Amino acid sequence: MKEKIIEVNKLCEANGTYINQHGKKTVSAWSKIKYFREVFGTDYGINCMIVEHADRYVIMKCVITKSDPEHVIATGYSKQYRDKVGYLEIAETFAITRALSFMGICLEDLTSKEEYEELDIPVQPMNTKGVVSTIKYDDNTINELIKNIHYAPHIGKLDFLYRANKNLLDQIKLKDVATYNSILTKFNSKRADITTQNEV
């Protein structure tokens, strides 16, 4: 198993490594889950269960098992508040990534890239040589994004724009918080406008 964990970590480091605010390497959730399944195959199970589903939040538990369900390899928990869109899916993903971290699939930080983003803490992508990748942008790039936000016809398109430009937004946040906040306000305003139109 140790060799397989090393193999997964190498794949994660090559495809899906970020650096946190303390300069430590962290891994994206998608790379952890993708490469875990590729390397370990179906010999290991990922089992998620809701531990608590209260009025305001949900607590999800993930158990990683070997062939025998009683043979527990690692566990992880995640708590998410129910006022967030997709809170169940987020809780499930974070529980899985934490269980994988405790299994040993992590580089220098247990917290995944997505968990940092959920806490509104930006992380920067790294290339395969361990160098921080920077996205070059100018006023035209920002103006184009703002234009696309303005003309987004529905919430799905707005969410896609946010996800597709997440790395760009992280770079803007690191260099110019005022511009980042302005773009975020435009996202939120457009979301409120679309929601209002749908209710009418």
Q: Which amino acid does the sequence have at 113?
A: K
Provide the pLDDT for residue 15. 82
Q: Looking at residue 133, what is its pLDDT?
A: 57
> What is the spatial distance between Cα 95 and Cα 104, in angstroms, rounded to a whole number?
14
Q: Which residues of the chain have pLDDT under 70?
A: 21, 69, 127-136, 199-200
The contacts found for 32-36 with CB under 8 angstroms, 24 or more apart, are 32/8, 32/96, 32/97, 32/100, 32/101, 32/105, 32/106, 32/112, 33/93, 33/96, 33/97, 33/100, 35/8, 35/11, 35/105, 36/8, 36/100, 36/105
